Each structure stands twice: as structure tokens, then as C-alpha cells.
Structure 1
């Protein structure tokens, strides 16, 4: 069972809409929401580069929207860890400003950060999350995606997701897990264990076209918010197909 209360007022089915034309015009606005990529921020040696969404979204009126900002690093492989620390820290305030501006202009129930932070960037990421919570409107919840491995036996998220921590929702992504995939499958499906980090037990991110997708869906769909990613462009037909999978 869930050990943490999910973000109130958000539907329990959410579709990630990435940087491509997406048709979610048949969305059920009472039970479904869209987490759309609003911008991608690139950390580079020459400063922060911001790319805002340019592709269209077809949505019904009154759709519940969760803006997502993705952070990527574009550092020279020859850079030392210390150089990367310095560059990240120098761009922190600009990252916070981008999130705050988006939250104030759209006033969403939640805003989501998507950052596959390397281990060397965890201190920076923790500081960033705290600064985001300090500066975002109180009415805007802070959601974060998470590598599934962060939620299984990796304690670094505990403090950030405590009741008084900066993060209100963690979405472990159970797809494209690479080398971690076999261990995660064994932990969850074979041994029937939930995530060891309590905050990872309210939401989950899935894709429908991978080998173990159906097993993860059966395990998780009854008691938590499910985010769906699609390798194909969203369309009314694909949305119907996804709903049929949920109703099995």
C-alpha cells in the first residue's frame, strides 16, 4: 500500500507528451491529465541554454496540465568532476528562475522536473530541489521523475521526500532502464517487493511497448498514479488502446 499521500486533485492517469505534435483531444478531463514537456534546459560550459516547446498539443478545454522541464548536461567528457560542480552551481539560479516563471504564468497544480542526475551531481540536485520548493508558489506541488534504481536500495531520496522535504511526488520510471532492468524486475515482479523508498510508492511511470510493461502495469495500477510514455505520437486511437490495456 502507499505510504505517502499523492498530490491531491491530480488525476490518477497521466500521459507524458514529449517534443513532437501530440493529439490528446479525446482526453477525459475528469480522470486523465497531460504532463507535457514545456522546456529543456541544457547545462553547458558557456551557460544555460533554454529550448521551449515548439510542437503543438491538441487538448480538450479544461485539460489538467502538468508542465515538465527536462534538464540535460552537455559537458566536455574531459572536464573534471570539480569543474562540473562549479558549472552546475553557477547555473542553479537560472534554472530556478525558469521553473518559477513557468509556474507563475500557468499556475499548475504541479510542475515536474526530469533530470537523470549522475551520482556526482546529487548534492547539486538536492540543493536545486530545495531552492525550487523555496521559490515556487505554495499552491504548486513539486514532482520529480526518478530512475527506478533510486527507489530500490538507494537512500539518497529519503531526506528530499520526507514529509517536510521539498518534493511532493516521485515518479519512478520503469522503462528504458538499461543494465538496471533485470535487478528491478527481479525485485518487483519475481520477489513481489515494492520500492524501498516510501515516496516512490504513490506514482509510477510506464511504457506500453516493452517486454515487461504488462506485468508492471498489473502490479501497480490499482493503488497509484500512473504516468504513461509512448514511443509513438499520441493520437485518439493510441489513447483508446492505452485505456483498453488499463481495463483488462
Structure 2
């Protein structure tokens, strides 16, 4: 859904957290703490991609710890210590997973991210489908994908994880299975959010079966559907299903003329975040 490069991992450095996402051998994350490089071992989770027998459902209450404004931090150096951490969260790209043939290729975040202690954090996992060698989307691919997502979920300090995947119709069954098993394996207190093509939130009922706590309709980079979607929103049409109604995603370079009130707003910036950009965003949101 969001295509520029970005991602992260958490380690405390004096008056800030530095999210690095730099993997050492054996799945070890090397985190700089006070100038020292310390290993943090990922907890590898062995999973089966058979559907859980018990009913798995989403619960929007899991997202209540996330503020109503969240900045996306993609793959570039970002210093967000100027934000009001009581009122603004950060959703950082922690990892990109490329589905290619029988392979699940992981690209961890390599760029630093600095935030204040206590900033509400969401770890974002971006899924990409190989165009030249489509994924088999078989059980082995499913199991490796789930395990990779759960590695991010094991990071300390997260309030939620978010999966960003522009799933084609042919990939929906695979995606549904991954999401169902991930939700089953996550701690009950950890939120599960996904980004959503806006068309998915206009009566495309397949989202109703996903046990996610939030689906974020993306109101930018909408392609050929842009004009019709803007018209439908301007005419007062609302998103369906209900999981799409609590949040939305916008971009600084495609800022909507008006926004529905009361929703959690995720904001993407194609350029690095700076204090003046942040201040401009807050002012624009006040005028909505």
C-alpha cells in the first residue's frame, strides 16, 4: 500500500529510543545502548498454517491505547523526538517480506528511528508479491510468513502491529489464513491493524471474515479509482464493513479537503519528517 522504502527495532539510548532493525547472525538484533552493541535474540515461533479450531475475532478495544494521530515512519533515517508523545503515535516499518516462488525473503529495517520514551509504537510489516516469480502461497510459505510477522510482534514496547499488503483477489485466501493465525498467536493485549485498499471498504465483504482490530482505508495513491472514491466520500457514503470505520490513512502530498471526525488518522510523508512539517500537519488537522 505504501511503496517507498523504510523499517525498525527498539533499544534505549539515554533520552530516546533508537530503532535500528539491524540483524546479526542467527536472527540476532544488534541494538546500540549507550554506545554499546548488545544482542537481543528474536523468539522464533514454530507455527502450523492449519486454521485454529476456536473462533478468532477482532476487537477494536485493543487499539484504544493508540492515539488518534499516528505518523508513518518509512525506510529512511527519522528523528521524531519533537512530537507530543501523549497525543501522537508512530507506526514504523519494521520489516518487508517479499513473497517469491517458494521463498519468503525478509528485509529488516536498516535506517535509524528516534522517538521519545513512552511513544506509542506500532510495528509495520510490509508484504510484497514478486512480479517475475509469483509465490506458491503454500503451507510452507504461510508458516514462514507467520513466523516472520511474529518476530516483529515479539519486540518490546509495541502497542500493535500493522500488516501492509495490497493483496490481489487470488492472494486473499492466503492472506486471510496468515492474519487468522497471527491473531491467534498474538498476546490478547497487542492490537492487529491492517492497511486496506479503499475499494475494500466500499462494500467488499471479504474483510468481514478477517479477525483484525482495525482496517485503515488508504485515501492516497488510489490510482484509477481516485475520482470515483472522492465523489462517493463527498456524497456522504460511509465505509463498510465496520472494521473500516475507525481509522483512515492520508498523505501529506495528497491531503484531503475534508476528513471524517473522530477517526484515528495515519499520516504518510513522502519526505523525512521535520518539526515544521509536523506543525503544518497539526494546523491542517485543526482546520478540518
Which range, TM-score by smaller chain?
0.7 to 0.9
1:74 & 1:136 partners in 2: Cα distance? 27
1:225 & 1:197 partners in 2: Cα distance? 16
Alignment of 1:1-248 (within 5 A): 7-76=63-132, 84=135, 86-160=136-210, 166-189=211-234, 191-210=235-254, 213-215=255-257, 218-220=258-260, 222-248=261-287
- Contact 1:43–1:75 (Cα < 8 Å) also in 2: no
Deviation at 1:88, TM superposition (A): 4.7
Structure 2: runs of 5+ lacking an equivalent: 1-59
Kindly provide the CA deviation profile for residues 76-105 of structure 1, in whole angstroms up to 9, marking residues without a partner as x.
Answer: 26x6xxxx4x34543111111112222123
Kindly provide the CA deviation profile for residues 139-159 of structure 1, in whole angstroms up to 9, marking residues without a partner as x.
Answer: 211100000010012111112
Decide which structure has greater helix share: 1
Where relative contact order (Cα < 8 A, 6+ residues apart) is larger, the structure is 1
Go from structure 1 to structure 2 and tell me whether the alpha carbon gap of 1:122 and 1:87 turns closer, same or farther (over 3 Å shift).
Answer: closer
2:91 & 2:149 partners in 1: Cα distance? 15
Deviation at 1:176, TM superposition (A): 0.2
- Contact 1:25–1:236 (Cα < 8 Å) also in 2: no
1:197 & 1:223 partners in 2: Cα distance? 17
Go from structure 1 to structure 2 and tell me whether the alpha carbon gap of 1:177 and 1:6 turns closer, same or farther (over 3 Å shift).
Answer: farther
- Contact 1:117–1:125 (Cα < 8 Å) also in 2: yes
- Contact 1:89–1:124 (Cα < 8 Å) also in 2: no
Go from structure 1 to structure 2 and tell me whether the alpha carbon gap of 1:118 and 1:20 turns closer, same or farther (over 3 Å shift).
Answer: same
1:240 & 1:219 partners in 2: Cα distance? 18
What root-mean-square deviation, in Å, do the aligned CA atoms of Structure 1 and Structure 2 show?
1.6
1:94 & 1:76 partners in 2: Cα distance? 20
Structure 1: runs of 5+ lacking an equivalent: 161-165
Q: TM-score normalized by structure 1?
A: 0.87
1:88 & 1:30 partners in 2: Cα distance? 43
